[in-house]
Amino acid sequence: MKAWKVIYNDWIPEKQPTREALTTLGNGYFAARGAAEESDAGGPHYPGTYLACGYNRMTSKVSGREVENEDLVNWANWLSLKFRIEDGDWFDLEKVEIIKYRNELDLKSGILKRTVGFVDQEGRESLLISRRLVHMKFSHLAAIEWKITPQNWSGKIEVQSAIDGTVTNSGVDRYSDLRGDHLKPLFTKQVDDKCIMLVVKTKQSKIRMAQSARTTVFSDDEPISADSEITEKEGYIAQYLTFNAEQNKTVRVEKIVGLHTSRDNAISEPALEACNAVQRAGNFEDLLTSHTREWKQLWYRCDLELEEGEYTQMILRLHIFHILQTASANTIDLDVGIPARGWHGEAYRGHIFWDELFVFPFLNFQLPELARSLLMYRYRRLPEARRAARNAGFKGAMFPWQSGSNGREESQELHLNPKSGEWDRDDTYLQRHVGAAIAYNIHQYFEATRDLEFMSFYGAEMLLEIARFWSSIAEWNPDRERFEIRGVVGPDEFHTQYPDSDKPGLNNNAYTNVMAVWVLQKALNMVEQLSETRKVELFEELDIDESELERWEKITRKMYVPFIKKGIISQFERYDDLQEMDWDKYRKKYDDVQRMDRILKAEGDTPNRYKVGKQADVLMLFYLFSVEQLKEIFNRLGYEFEPSSIPENVDYYLKRSSHGSTLSRLVYSWVMSRSDRERSWKAFQKALLSDFEDVQGGTTSEGIHLGAMAGTVDIVQRCYTGLEIRDGVLWINPRLPRELQSLKMRIRYRGHWIHFLFNHKIVEVTFEAGWSPKVEIGFREKVYTFGEGDRKTFSL
């Protein structure tokens, strides 16, 4: 059972911000941090509520400049529930003697439960047990239950149940110079004797959100009469309930919350719907039953069951849990993408980066309907990406490095370096590789589903436009007789320009160039597969002709890829001219050297001068492509590629990496999984702890790292099992680490539900259900046909 629970048995204020992020509850529509109900923002508490893709823009004055930012908005706090005894102090963890504390996130049922035994300054001992859910099925509902038991006293209890819209975005210290007053209060209302409501609106994006709360007090499951009073002020409404409690008799408080916005489908008006939602909802137990049922069904599809130490299992489940809380069936049909930090905090302002590259593989195989919906987030922003390309002097679609509401570039121009207190210029928007990641996701989704309708209607258009962008940014260098891509930044964000240049951008980032080739190749293949009618339609609409395709084809044979020496790919052109880092010097001086960029900049230096990487840049190629695929790409380009060079590349870059991004270790672990299993497992374990132990020291509290979470799940799902779709065949090539005895999982593949059991001796494949044509499974060079009901055991 422990492998289903995250348990904190102590109240440690300094750890609370991280724990709040890790115990966030969400349902793919909205999320709320695991803050204690009774606490307002301040000290260790930050009760943030976020709507999936609920953004607002504001202009702030920073260092004498006007800076516009689009933020994921912190909405009114519906968690707010407080109590006091006999007109005493309101209950506050910091002001009582805690004699028992346990905070427990039950991953199986999506419940956050807290038990606090305490003695107040008057010597009164009480027990408070709270349970909370954000409903996974009825996405507009959430609920809190409090059980209060007086242990050595009887007397009056006053409960305050509020909806607090006076909150601001203040979850990230670094952003404190920026405005966070996104909400404009509209009105408050007492709906009836149990129900209150608050309506607010974001100042610029004008999203209206209505929250309603129905609070009831019970004794022995019977509602008890309580004196009720309402307080209202601008942006805030609270209901006060006063009643008598007896020693050793538990009273129960239920707060059922409804939340609707003007963005919702199938509504008349958010205030009306929020009101309806709570009035029609059952009580806490009813909601718990339907919520738990939904989670049970999700786990049936999405669990990875390991036979291994419970720790790995629990953290993997925590990661799956947070993926599903960020995007779930409730997200389908919403205009929502995959945020880098979940809807769990305000870091990176809730923006959408390339991190979805690490999340899609899981969703493609578990919830393909959801993956499709998330791809549509990008499709809807294709016009904006076209505009961005044109403005930068290119053709096709140039997707932004950071995306928010309407798909324009949301990257900051300035970034605060907490080490120096200085605002540094931020050129990371030059990471054009984000478009390649989108193309890769489209391709992977299609491979896993064969969703021809999607491909033909939406995917093809995106692929063609992304390919066209790569073709237009690639320049022919007659001296080299090769195409080049100049002035970009690769995934390793530490390097944004040459030390001897005053212009941002680097030339021929190997990852970017190879991805560009891959995209062009895939677009060409896809054109061949399109029906003639659709091809003509798209070519007419996008004005593509054969000569353009000829150029694409030429680029796939003539793109330049820099090498440091035989077999070692150069991260970008002239990387080898950079200085080696004196790692010892910095390790002696600083406890933590993960963010070498900030350290160097604070010392008046710059990472641009050194061979120091934030994350595995070149190695992304070995992460995304199999040896066979890379051989094909490189050979076509006329470069030698020996699989034996992979470990050398890994060694080379591992030595020069500070792992400043949580994505880094993940990629190392994957690429070493077959050559150096020991190191790979260690890197995997570290990646697994990225958030759980907040390895970056303070970043998890600002939001989880969804890419790292999903990436670790994917290592188990695809890397250890060797699951790969190649030439229309689903290949399995398992190599479980010694530490994993067995693995059970279900995947959805081209309309089939397949159950796998892997251990060190066998692989058992069972086609449990599905209505689709038979598919092929490949194992050790042989291909087998499977349809519904088929089962086969392969010996290893």
- Ligand-binding site membership of 220 (annotated): no
- For ligand BGC, the closer of residues 688 and 710 by Cβ is 710
With tokens 């009164």, the residue in question is 124
Between residues 364 and 662, which has the closer beta carbon with respect to ligand BGC?
662
CA distance 646 to 668: 11
Q: Which residues are part of the catalytic machinery? A: 493
- Annotated binding-site residue? 696: no
The mark string for 676-715 relative to ligand BGC (x by CB under 6 A, - otherwise) is: -------------------------------x--------
How many residues touch ligand BGC (CB under 6 A)? 12
Q: Hey, which residues does 767 pair with through a beta bridge?
A: 754
775-779 and 729-732 as β-strands: parallel, antiparallel, unpaired?
parallel
Query: Is 597 marked as a binding-site residue?
Result: no
Is residue 354 annotated as involved in ligand binding?
yes
24 touches ligand BGC by CB under 6 A: no
**CA–CA dist 102, 323 (Å, integer):** 25
Smallest separation (angstroms) from ligand BGC to the CB of 299: 26
Which of 212, 444, 472, 661 binds ligand BGC (CB under 6 A)? It is: 661
Segment near ligand BGC (CB under 6 A); pick from 52-60, 301-309, 348-356, 503-511: 348-356
The answer to whether 70 contacts ligand BGC (rule: CB under 6 A) is no
Q: Calculate the dihedral angle through the C-alpha atoms of 8, 10, 13, 18, rounding to the nearest 10 degrees.
A: -10
Task: Classify burial at 176, counting beta carbons within 10 Å of its beta carbon; exposed 0-12, middle 13-18, buried 19 or more.
Answer: exposed
Please identify, using beta-carbon distances, which residue of 355 and 451 lies nearer to ligand BGC.
355
Q: How far, in Å, CA of 684 to CA of 22, rounded? A: 19
Q: Which stretch binds ligand BGC (CB under 6 A): 13-21, 45-53, 55-63, 349-357?
A: 349-357
Is residue 740 a contact point for ligand BGC (CB under 6 A)? no
- Residue 417 phi/psi, 5-degree rounding, is -90, 105
Q: Does 571 bind ligand BGC (CB under 6 A)?
A: no
The tally of CA atoms less than 13 A away on the side-chain side of residue 545 is 1
Distance of CA 536 to the CA centre of its chain: 38
Residue 233, C-beta contacts closer than 8 angstroms, at least 6 positions apart: none
Does 657 participate in binding ligand BGC (rule CB under 6 A)? no
For residue 355, CA distances in Å to 296, 340, 662, 693, 705 come to: 27, 6, 11, 20, 9
511 binds ligand BGC (CB under 6 A): no
277, 140 contact by CB (below 8 A): yes
Q: Check binding of 491 to ligand BGC (CB under 6 A).
A: yes
Q: What span, in angstroms and rounded, lies between the C-alpha atoms of 392 and 473?
A: 10
Angle value at C-alpha 377, between 392 and 524, nearest 5 degrees: 65
- Contact string 611-640 vs ligand BGC (x = CB under 6 A): ---xx-------------------------
Taking the complex as a whole, how short is the minimal distance between the CB of residue 351 and ligand BGC, in angstroms? 8
Which of the stretches 126-134, 147-155, 237-245, 346-354 binds ligand BGC when contact is defined by CB under 6 A?
346-354
Contact residues for 246 (Cβ-Cβ < 8 A; gap 6+)? 150, 154
Of residues 594 and 721, the one with the C-beta less far from ligand BGC: 594
Span interacting with ligand BGC, options 48-56, 353-361, 509-517, 761-769, rule CB under 6 A: 353-361
Query: Is the distance from CB of 129 to CB of 146 less than 8 angstroms?
Result: yes
For the bound state, the minimum distance from the C-beta of residue 337 to ligand BGC, rounded and expressed in Å, comes to 13
**Shortest separation between residue 667's beta carbon and ligand BGC, angstroms:** 10
Distance from C-alpha of 396 to C-alpha of 439, rounded to nearest angstrom: 13
Q: Is residue 493 a contact point for ligand BGC (CB under 6 A)? A: yes
Query: In the complex with ligand BGC, which residue's Cβ is closer, 340 or 460?
Result: 340
**Residue in 304, 596, 663, 713 binding ligand BGC, rule: CB under 6 A:** 663
Total count of residues recorded for the chain: 796
Least distance CB 596 / ligand BGC (angstroms):
13
What residues numbered 540-559 form the site for ligand BGC, per CB under 6 A?
A: none
Helix (H) or strand (E) holding 587: helix 583-589
Residue 786 β-bridge partners: 775
User: Which of 37, 355, 409, 702 contacts ligand BGC by CB under 6 A?
Assistant: 355
Q: Which of 214, 226, 256, 248 is nearest to 157 (CA)?
A: 226
Binding residues for substrate: 354-355, 614-615
Interface residue list for ligand BGC (CB under 6 A): 340, 348, 353-355, 491, 493, 614-615, 661, 663, 707
